Amino acid sequence: MGRTGRRPGGSDSRQAILAAARAMFSAVGYDKASVRAIARAAGVDPALVHHFFGSKEALFVAAMSLAIDQDEVAETLAAGDPDSAGERLASFFVRIWEDPASRPPLLGLLRSAVSNERAADALREFLSTTALLPVAGATAADSRASDEARLRATLVASQFVGFALMRYILRVEPLASAEPETAVAWLAPTIQRYLAGPTPETGGPADG
Amino acid sequence: MGRTGRRPGGSDSRQAILAAARAMFSAVGYDKASVRAIARAAGVDPALVHHFFGSKEALFVAAMSLAIDQDEVAETLAAGDPDSAGERLASFFVRIWEDPASRPPLLGLLRSAVSNERAADALREFLSTTALLPVAGATAADSRASDEARLRATLVASQFVGFALMRYILRVEPLASAEPETAVAWLAPTIQRYLAGPTPETGGPADG
C-alpha cells in the first residue's frame, strides 16, 4: 500500500476528494462509485475520505451540493422584482443544465437518486436542508419555513426536475431541442405561480 | 425443456406475457428483467414472446403502455369544459399514481427509463407515439400534431413526471404527504396553461 504522491490531510485534500467524488458519481452513478476509487483518484488515503465525510452517502451529498450553488439561488431570487423571480429562477436553472460543466453532476445526481435508495436519501436531504431553503424563503440558520412555503419549494423542484428528465435524460422531442429561451418562457409562469401565486382552493375529492 | 402446462399460442398467451412482463419490469426494472424469466412466469416458450413482441424493448413498451390508458386520457380531456381540462387531467394523473394497482408499473417505467438507455428509448417512443397524442390533440391515425401542440404535450408530461419523481420516488416533504386534492389543486393551473394557455413571448437570450 504505497502512499507515494498522496496529498497530506487538509483543505486541499478535501477539495480534491470532492472534485474526484463529483466526477466519479457523475460518470458511473452512485452504485458503481466506491470510496476507495474516489480516494485513489484524489490521491489520498480512503481513511481520509471517511475522516472528512463519514459515509459514501454523506460524500454524495457534499459532492453533489456543488452542482447547485445555494447562494446563487438565493441571490437570483432576491436580485430584482419579485414578480419576475420565477423567470429569473427558470433562467438560472436552464442555464446550469445547458452548461457543459454543470450538467454531468446534475445528471449523475438525478440518475443515481432514481435508481438507488441511499442516493435518493442523499438527494432528499440535500433538497430539504440546502437547495430548497432559499426557494422556501428560508436560510440555513432559519430552516423552519412554513409548511406552505416548503410545499411551494417542492412544487418548484418538481417542475425543474421533470423538465430536466424530459429534456436531458429522456430527450423527448420537441422539448429536447427547444431553444433555452423558449423553455424559460414556458416554465417561468409556472415557477412564478408556485413561488408567489395565490394558494389554490382545494375542491372536493378528485372526481371519479 | 419440458413444456408441460405451457399455454398454446394465441390471445390468452399474449395477455399472460404482457401481465408477466408488467409485473417483472415493475418489480426488478428493465435491466434485471429477462425475456426468459417473463416467459417462464407467463407459462409460455420464450420463442413465443419473441414471436409476439420481437424484442425486450418492444415488450417493455407494450407492457408499460398498459400503465396509462391512452383512451382514458383522451376521454378525460374531452369530457367537459375545455377550461377545466387541466384540472381533469391532473386529477386523472394523481389518481392513477395513488392507485396501488397502477403505481408499481409507473414506478418501474420511470426508474427503468432513467437508468437504462434502452428503456429510455422505449419510454420516449411510448410518450411520442401513444401517451402524448391525445394531449397534443392528435390521434394515432393523425400523428402529426403541430410542433407547438407537441411541445405543450411534453411540458404537461414534464410537470407530471417531476411531480411523480418528487412525491413517489424521492418522497420529498411536504409534497410527499400532501393530500391528493391539494396536489391536484396546485398542478391544475400549470397543466391548464400548458394545454391551452397563450404561447409565451420569448424574450431575449436568458440573462447572465
Chain position carrying cell 438525478:
A110
* Residue B74 near residue B172 (C-beta atoms within 8 A): no
Cβ contact, residue pair B193, A194, below 8 Å: no
- Alpha helix stretches (DSSP H) within chain B: 11-32, 35-42, 46-53, 56-65, 70-78, 85-98, 103-115, 117-126, 132-135, 147-164, 180-196
| Amino acid at position A112, single letter | S
pLDDT tens for each residue of B121-137: 888 887 877 778 888 87
CB atoms within 10 A of CB B129: 14
Cβ contact, residue pair A150, B173, below 8 Å: yes
pLDDT tens for each residue of A124-179: 887 877 778 888 876 655 656 688 899 999 999 999 999 999 999 999 999 999 99
Q: Count how many Cα atoms sit within 13 Å of the Cα of residue A129 in the half-sphere of its side chain.
A: 10
SS3 category, A142: strand
The beta-carbon neighbor of B151 closest among A160, A165, A175 is: A175
Most A CBs within 10 A among B170, B171, B195, hence the mutation to make, goes to: B170
Q: Which three cell numbers stand for residue B43?
A: 407459462
Residues 6+ apart with CB under 8 A from A40: none
Q: Which three cell numbers stand for residue B84?
A: 377545466
* Residue A68 near residue A131 (C-beta atoms within 8 A): yes
Residue A203 has pLDDT above 80, yes or no: no
Chain position carrying cell 398467451:
B13
* Residue B45 near residue B89 (C-beta atoms within 8 A): no
Q: How remote is the C-alpha of B184 from its chain's centroid?
A: 18
Cβ contact, residue pair A185, B203, below 8 Å: yes
Q: Which three cell numbers stand for residue A25?
A: 458519481
pLDDT tens for each residue of A63-111: 877 777 778 888 888 888 999 999 999 999 999 999 988 888 888 888 8
Residues of B with Cβ-Cβ distance to A206 under 8 angstroms: 91, 94-95, 180-181, 184
Exposed (0-12), middle (13-18) or buried (19+): which is B72, by Cβ within 10 Å? middle
Task: Give the residue with greater pLDDT, A185 vs A140.
Answer: A185
The three-state (H, E, C) secondary structure of B172-202, written as one string: CCCHHHCCHHHHHHHHHHHHHHHHHCCCCCC
Residues pairing with B139 in the sheet: B142
Most A CBs within 10 A among B73, B127, B173, B186, hence the mutation to make, goes to: B186
The single-letter DSSP state of residue B6 is: P
- How confident is the model at residue A198, as a pLDDT? 92
CB atoms within 10 A of CB B47: 11
pLDDT < 70 stretches in chain B: 1-10, 138-145, 203-208
Q: What does residue A139 show for φ and ψ, rounded to 5 degrees?
A: -120, 170
- How confident is the model at residue B207, as a pLDDT? 45
Would residue B171 be called left, alpha or beta, if left means φ above 0 and alpha means ψ between -120 and 50 degrees? left
The answer to whether the peptide bond before residue A46 is cis (omega within 30 degrees of 0) is: no
Residues of A with Cβ-Cβ distance to B32 under 8 angstroms: none
Task: Give the residue with greater pLDDT, A24 vs A7.
Answer: A24
Which positions 92-151 of A are in contact with B (Cβ < 8 Å)?
A: 92, 94-95, 110-111, 113-115, 120, 123-124, 127-128, 132, 147, 150-151
SS3 category, B95: helix
| Amino acid at position A51, single letter | H
- The alpha carbon dihedral of B143, B148, B151, B155 has a sign of negative
SS3 category, A139: strand
Q: Which residue of A has its CA nearest to B122?
A: A170
Residues 6+ apart with CB under 8 A from B136: B145, B149, B150, B152, B153
Task: Report residue A8's pLDDT band, with 50, 70 and 90 as the boundaries.
Answer: low
End-to-end Cα, chain B, rounded Å: 66
Which H or E run contains A75?
A: helix A70-78
Indicate the range of A31-40, A54-63, A129-138 predicted with least confidence.
A129-138
Q: Which residue of A has its CA nearest to B90?
A: A206
The string of DSSP codes covering B115-143 is H-HHHHHHHHHHIIIIIHHHHTT-BTTB-
Residues of B with Cβ-Cβ distance to A123 under 8 angstroms: 170
Chain position carrying cell 394545454:
B195
Q: Which three cell numbers stand for residue B206?
A: 436568458
Residues of A with Cβ-Cβ distance to B204 under 8 angstroms: 181
- How confident is the model at residue A88, as a pLDDT? 95
Whole-model pTM? 0.85
Q: Which three cell numbers stand for residue A7?
A: 496529498
